[in-house]
């Protein structure tokens, strides 16, 4: 402890310095860390408080497992779709040689649309693709195409994915833009001068530089969709069995008939969102490094 003798006065002030962040640390402990830790510990206990893996095993029972699978499918579909479309959109605005007003307009709109989630978003898609929604009605009227005769419903897997895309695409635009800004025009020119085609440019120049940013952002989109509940709940009620809705029902009425299985359900969500966020941060560090 006495390894730094030269700063005798610093020693007393170090103790005081810690006090400055104490309110924040106490707040984080009380309203973020402890509540989460309580659930994580509870996931490994039975009702008597003894250690057990039974709850983790319980996650692999058919009804719980299917909820995880549907959640992962919806999140994956909306992350890949949003990632792809968002990337194309950002590329068009930044590298597409379009009029200069396009980019700031897209960025502003993306800021709004990526925050327009929750219950109102569900209403918007019901009014668009619902049974009497505008797009459904217009398709029937002008093209004689009955959307609902194909078995489509906005309350389904596809409906939820299309709805999630509304905030996933703009989120992708916001996250991936800095990486696209880093693509130098000279690289394209160099590639053209050497007789390279667009294919060569993407295959050997742009994608090798961009892939960590693209993959990382897609992982973040995945986590973003996985934890969302309000939109899905307002859109489908409890007809679509995804994890957050199952957890919501469990909190309200112990539908699993085992409180500790509920904790395990929460733990599973944290593990999945935690892993995808960790992947995002790792890839982002990689992408930031390669740009400097």
**Chain residues 191-220 in contact with another protein, contact rule CB under 8 A:** 198, 220
- To the nearest whole angstrom, how small is the minimum distance from the Cβ of residue 215 to another protein? 16
Give the C-alpha separation, 86 to 34, whole Å: 37
Q: Rounded to an integer, what distance in angstroms lies between the CA atom of residue 217 and that of residue 169?
A: 11
Among 135, 190, 207, 285, binds another protein (CB under 8 A): 135
- The CA distance from 6 to 257, in Å, is 62
Minimal distance, residue 203 CB to another protein, in Å: 16
Q: Least separation, in Å, of the C-beta of 175 and another protein?
A: 6
Residues 72-101 that bind another protein (CB under 8 A): 85, 88-89, 91-93, 95-98
| Binding of residue 6 to another protein (CB under 8 A) | no
CB of 174 to another protein, least distance (A): 4
Footprint (CB under 8 A) of another protein, residues 261-290: 262, 266, 269-270, 273-274, 277, 280-281
Judged by CB under 8 A, the residue of 6, 24, 151, 253 near another protein is: 24
Nearest 5°: CA angle at 103, between 183 and 282?
45
Contacts of 146 (CB under 8 A, 6+ apart): 139, 140
Q: Give me the least distance between CB of 62 and another protein, in Å please.
A: 22
* Residue 1 CB-density burial (10 A; 0-12 exposed, 13-18 middle, 19+ buried): exposed
Query: What's the CA gap between 130 and 128, in Å, rounded?
Result: 6
**By CB under 8 A, residue 112 contacts another protein:** yes
* Residue closer to another protein, measured from CB, 208 or 274: 274
For the CB of residue 60, give the shortest distance to another protein in the complex, in Å: 20
- Does the protein bind another protein through residue 226 (CB under 8 A)? yes
Q: By rule CB under 8 A, what string of x and - marks binding of each residue 43-72 to another protein?
A: ------------------------------
3-state secondary structure of 133: coil
Contact between 111 and another protein per CB under 8 A:
yes
Backbone angles phi, psi at 204, to 5 degrees: -110, -15
- In terms of C-beta density within 10 A (0-12 exposed, 13-18 middle, 19 or more buried), how is residue 174 classed? middle
């Amino acid at each position: 402890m006495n390894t730094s003798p030269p700063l005798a006065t610093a020693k007393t002030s170090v103790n005081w310095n810690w006090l400055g962040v104490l309110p924040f640390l106490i707040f984080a402990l009380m309203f973020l860390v402890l509540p989460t830790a309580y659930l994580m510990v509870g996931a490994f206990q039975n009702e008597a408080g003894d250690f057990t893996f039974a709850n983790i095993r319980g996650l692999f029972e058919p009804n719980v497992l299917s909820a995880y699978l549907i959640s992962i499918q919806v999140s994956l579909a909306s992350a890949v779709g949003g990632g792809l479309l968002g990337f194309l959109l950002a590329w068009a605005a930044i590298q597409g040689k379009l009029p200069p007003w396009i980019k700031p307009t897209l960025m502003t709109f993306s800021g709004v649309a990526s925050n327009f989630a929750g219950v109102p978003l569900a209403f918007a898609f019901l009014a668009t693709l619902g049974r009497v929604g505008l797009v459904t009605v217009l398709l029937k009227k002008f093209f004689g195409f009955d959307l609902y005769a194909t078995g489509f419903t906005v309350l389904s897997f596809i409906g939820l994915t299309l709805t999630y895309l509304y905030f996933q695409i703009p989120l992708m635009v916001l996250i991936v833009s800095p990486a696209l800004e880093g693509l130098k025009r000279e690289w394209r020119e160099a590639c053209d001068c050497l007789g390279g085609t667009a294919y060569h440019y993407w295959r050997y120049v742009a994608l090798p530089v961009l892939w960590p940013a693209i993959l990382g952002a897609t992982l973040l989109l995945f986590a973003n969709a996985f934890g969302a509940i309000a939109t899905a709940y307002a859109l489908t009620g409890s007809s679509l069995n995804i994890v957050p809705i199952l957890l919501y029902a469990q909190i309200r009425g112990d539908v699993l008939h085992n409180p500790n299985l509920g904790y395990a359900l929460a733990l599973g969500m944290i593990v999945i969102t935690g892993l995808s966020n960790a992947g995002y941060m790792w890839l982002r560090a990689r992408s930031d490094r390669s740009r400097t």
